[in-house]
């Protein structure tokens, strides 16, 4: 069973929404959550949650689309 | 008597059905700050903004929704481009048909060492206009920025050709689409433009207090305003990515909701039909006014290829503001004076008189144009009978 347990961190709400659209178009389930990093380096950001088994593929799709992923 | 509203070049009125309801819904049930909170109402607000951003990107052929920037007005959008790009030693070319939204920031930049040239627009002659821009180019020309259509005379500039000229010479190209967005074709998949600036409240049938800046290039604009974006709050410099980089402060969500209704309305009517309707009305007015010896017109008969549907005229011997007042007494809304575009009036020789400007919308009827024409005839005849 899939669980959305891996987080892809994106700085902007707009880019995170587009990221979700792109992933769903590519058959990858995801959900969007507003979050913040624990050390306060970035502060407010958005987590796109995906199944850990699909994370590498998801990140590749987003990078190819020019969406910046935070480390 | 019902108001005959012909001041749509200033702002369209009325708005499409559903606009008020969309705004009311935001205020009553989606009033949270978008892109900030994580509770349901904030998510709804954020989703609404994103949906409208996507709609605008689709409407104007932008490559991605993040390239659509919401600003407080078209004037802000123009300032973001001019002041975000130009610095001392740079050269910019504008036209002699510009609104003050362009010419004033350029003059302010000139005081800081930015050089500028003004290219003459030859009505109906695209080649002559492009040649004027070509002659104005210098080795340090960084940007060509011009209006798509004069807000006073309706004269369109050949922006596709000017954009090609700019790009062939490695120059960025920006367009003030205040009088054309929603009415004239604007597709960034075809148009070689880097920046489009427009208001929501004119041809897009949205509300005042919202502008759009569409960025169609990878050149990074320096920021004119910095502040909270709801993103990377732990970093004390402005984000690099769009739209956040250029969208500090809380967005005007009610106006964004209205804009979405406006764009959907235009698509449902079809932009082509809307333009054809308004152009037929403006030609009806043009033909009648040009047959009156008491009236003075300043342009060729409007055509979609060379004009947007608005025109300027005067009744000989009556100052434009007085004539507009007389029309106002008859419940006919027009605008008179210089229309915040002194340069355009200087180019046409109307700076001392100003002009009366009319502009129909999709909601204007031919009966209303005829009633306006009857009122002009009445005012002109009285003037002839009782000259000052």
Q: What is the ipTM of this complex?
A: 0.91
Task: Spell out which residues of chain A touch residue B35, defining contact as CB-CB under 8 Å.
Answer: 13
Q: Rounded to whole angstroms, what are the CA distances from B227 to B45, B50, B236, B237, B302?
A: 20, 20, 9, 9, 45
Specify the residue for token string 């932009």.
B271
Least Cα separation, residue A41 to chain B (angstroms): 6
| Full-model pTM | 0.96
Domain C-terminal end among B218, B249, B267: B267
Same domain for B239 and B95: yes
B182 and B73 fall within a common domain: yes
Element holding A62 (H helix, E strand)? helix A55-64
Going by the DSSP 8-state scheme, the letter that residue A39 receives in this structure is T
Domain boundary among B243, B267, B291: B267
CA separation, residue A59 to residues A8, A68, B259 (Å):
7, 10, 33
Contact A12 B66 (CB under 8 A): yes
Residue B209: what pLDDT?
Answer: 98
Contacts of residue B36 in chain A, CB cutoff 8 Å?
A: 44
pLDDT at B298: 97
pLDDT for B142: 98
- For residues B32 and B177, membership in a common domain is answered with yes
Domain range holding B9?
4-14+270-385
Does the pLDDT value for residue B169 go beyond 90? yes
- Residue B41 touches chain A, beta carbons under 8 Å: no
CB–CB contact A18 B66 (8 Å): yes
Q: Given CB atoms, is A69 within the 8 Å cutoff of chain B?
A: no
Asked if B232 and A40 come within 8 Å (Cβ–Cβ), the reply is no
Chain-centroid distance of CA A24 in Å reads: 12
Same domain, B260 and B288: no
> What percentage of chain B reaches a pLDDT higher than 70?
98
Same domain, B220 and B294: no
pLDDT of residue B192: 98
d(CA A42, nearest CA chain B) in Å: 5
Question: What 3-state class would DSSP assign to A36?
Answer: strand
Q: Which domain CATH number covers B282?
A: 3.90.1150.10
Question: Are the beta carbons of B66 and A40 separated by less than 8 Å?
Answer: no
- Rounded to a whole number of angstroms, the distance between the first and last alpha carbons of chain A is 27
Q: Does B189 lie in the same domain as B243?
A: yes
Q: Are the CB atoms for B150 and B100 separated by under 8 Å?
A: no
- The predicted pLDDT at position B383 comes to 79
Same domain, B234 and B361: no
Domains: count for chain B: 2
Whether residue B375 is predicted with pLDDT greater than 90 in this model: the reply is: yes
pLDDT mean over B60-64: 97
* For chain B, percent of residues with pLDDT exceeding 90: 96
pLDDT average, residue stretch B9-38: 95
* Structure letter (DSSP) for residue A22: H
pLDDT at B387 over 80: no
pLDDT at position B1 is 59
CB distance B241–A15 less than 8 Å?
A: yes
Lowest-pLDDT choice from A39-53, B127-141, B157-171: A39-53
Query: Is B386 a residue whose pLDDT tops 70?
Result: no
For residue range A18-65, what is the model confidence (pLDDT) as tens digits?
Answer: 999 999 999 999 999 998 887 788 888 999 999 999 999 999 999 999
How far apart are the CA of B172 and the nearest CA of chain A, in angstroms? 22
Residues B199 and B254 in one domain: yes
Of B228, B249, B267, the residue at which a domain comes to its end is: B267
> What are the structural domains, with CATH classification, of chain A?
6-64 (3.30.70.1530)
Q: What is the pLDDT of residue B378?
A: 97
Mean pLDDT is lowest, of B57-66, B324-333, B338-347, for: B338-347
Q: Are residues B365 and B323 in the same domain?
A: yes
Within this chain, do residues B182 and B329 fall inside the same structural domain, yes or no? Answer: no
Structure tokens at B183: 């009415």
Note the pLDDT tens digit of each residue in B240-265.
999 999 999 999 999 999 999 999 99
Task: List, for residues B73-114, the tens digit of each pLDDT value.
Answer: 999 999 999 999 999 999 999 999 999 999 999 999 999 999
CA nearest to B245 within chain A: A12
> A63 at the B interface (CB within 8 A)?
no
Task: Please tell me if residue B50 touches chain A, with a CB cutoff of 8 Å.
Answer: yes
Q: How confident is the model at residue B47 (pLDDT cuts 50, 70, 90)?
A: very high
């Amino acid at each position: 069973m899939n669980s959305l347990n891996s987080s892809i961190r994106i700085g902007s709400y707009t880019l995170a929404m587009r990221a979700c659209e792109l992933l769903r178009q590519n058959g990858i389930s995801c959900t969007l959550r507003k979050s913040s990093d624990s050390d306060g380096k970035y502060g407010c950001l958005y987590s796109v949650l995906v199944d850990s088994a699909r994370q590498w593929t998801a990140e590749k799709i987003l990078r190819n689309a020019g969406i910046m992923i935070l480390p | 008597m019902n108001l005959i509203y012909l001041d749509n070049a200033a702002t369209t009125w009325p708005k499409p059905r559903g606009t008020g309801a969309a705004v009311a819904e935001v205020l009553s049930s989606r009033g949270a700050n978008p892109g900030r909170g994580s509770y349901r109402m904030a998510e709804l607000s954020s989703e609404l903004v994103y949906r409208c951003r996507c709609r605008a990107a689709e409407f104007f052929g932008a490559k991605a929704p993040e390239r659509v920037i919401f600003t407080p007005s078209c004037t802000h959008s123009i300032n973001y481009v001019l002041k975000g790009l130009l610095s001392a030693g740079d050269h910019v070319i504008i036209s002699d048909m510009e609104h003050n939204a362009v010419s004033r920031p350029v003059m302010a930049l000139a005081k800081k060492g930015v050089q500028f040239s003004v290219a003459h627009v030859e009505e109906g002659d695209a080649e002559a206009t492009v040649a004027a821009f070509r002659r104005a180019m210098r080795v340090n020309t960084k940007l060509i920025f011009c209006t798509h259509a004069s807000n006073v005379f309706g004269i369109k500039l050949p922006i596709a050709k000017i954009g090609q000229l700019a790009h062939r010479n490695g120059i960025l190209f920006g367009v003030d689409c205040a009088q054309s967005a929603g009415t004239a074709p604007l597709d960034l998949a075809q148009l070689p433009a880097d920046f489009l600036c427009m208001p929501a409240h004119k041809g897009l049938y949205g509300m005042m207090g919202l502008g759009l800046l569409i960025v169609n290039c990878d050149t990074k604009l320096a920021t004119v305003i910095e502040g909270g974006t709801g993103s990377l709050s732990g970093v004390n410099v402005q984000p690099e990515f769009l739209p956040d980089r250029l969208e500090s402060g809380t967005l005007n969500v009610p106006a964004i909701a209205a804009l979405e209704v406006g764009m959907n309305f235009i698509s449902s009517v079809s932009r082509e039909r809307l333009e054809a309707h308004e152009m037929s009305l403006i030609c009806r007015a043009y033909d009648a006014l040009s047959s009156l010896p008491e009236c003075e017109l300043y342009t060729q008969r409007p055509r979609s290829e060379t004009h947007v549907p608005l025109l300027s005229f005067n009744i000989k011997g009556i100052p434009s503001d007085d004539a507009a007042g007389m029309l106002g007494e008859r419940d006919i809304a027009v605008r008179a004076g210089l229309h915040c575009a002194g340069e355009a009036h200087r180019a046409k020789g109307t700076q001392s008189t100003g002009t009366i400007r009319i502009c129909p919308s999709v909601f204007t009827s031919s009966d209303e144009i005829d009633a306006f024409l009857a009122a002009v005839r009445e005012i002109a005849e009285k003037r002839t009978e009782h000259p000052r």
